[in-house]
Amino acid sequence: MCRGIRARGEDREARRDERHHRDHAYVVAQLAQYSVSHGLAADEALLAGFVGRRGDEALAEHVHRFPGCTVQELFHEALGYLNGPDSPPAYPVRGAEALVRRLHADGVPIAVVTSGPRKYAVELLQLVGGADLFAAMISAEDVRQGKPHPEGYRSGCAALGVDPDRAVAFEDAPAGIAAAKAAGLSCVGITTTHPAAALRAADIVVSDLTEVDWPSLAAGPFSPNVA
């Protein structure tokens, strides 16, 4: 555990809020249904390969298993499964709103670096609030290579005008952590979609953002610039 961020209770690293369990289960169930509809066995390894990555890149690895379909056709069909009328409402991770507002009030520039399309990222930020607090957004359309490639985080740091070694990423998926670390950022892993063991490449792992101590973060080895 790195000095500068305090997690309250080590046993909490592997615990998640019940709502997080339920909503992640929905995503997994929809991806499984999508796979089965094409005659694919929805094994855990297949589904895990989609989380935190650009959908088109993840699907490109399996397009040969979908005869007669293009990657873009598969991608748009998958979005229909994930954003259907039964999808759970969007909500921020616990502690996210308070942390973002605190950073903004302290003059810390913040960027969104997402594997998702810009349209959906903007819609989600508008739903949960605080879209105006982010100085930049790097989405799937803005990079040639998605996570785990570091391009997105390098672009995010460039947009903020900070060096990667002076920035901190907050990630909930192994692909995102790999991207952040490869770009030279420090990284906080959040166990909202994966257990702590899957996020061990992060510098520190927390259950949610209420466990992030911003004054210590600013004073410690992590930079007060956040991506």
Q: Is the pTM of this model over 0.75?
A: no
Report the alpha-carbon distance of residue 79 to residue 84 in Å, rounded: 8
What residues contact 27, with CB distance under 8 A and at least 6 apart?
51, 82, 193
- The pLDDT value recorded for residue 196 is 92
Question: Could you tell me which of 137, 31, 146, 143 has the C-alpha nearest to residue 83?
Answer: 31
Give tens-digit pLDDT for 4-36: 332 333 333 333 344 444 455 666 666 677 777
- What's the one-letter identity of residue 98? A
The two three-digit tokens of residue 25, written as one number: 């289960």
| pLDDT for 102 beyond 50 | yes
Q: Which residue has the higher pLDDT, 161 or 91?
A: 161
CA 107 to chain centroid: 23
CATH of domain 91-219: 3.40.50.1000
Q: What is the mean pLDDT of residues 92-120?
A: 91
* DSSP β-bridge partners for residue 137: 112
Mean pLDDT highest for which of 25-39, 99-113, 118-132?
99-113
- The pLDDT value recorded for residue 46 is 63
- The pLDDT value recorded for residue 63 is 75
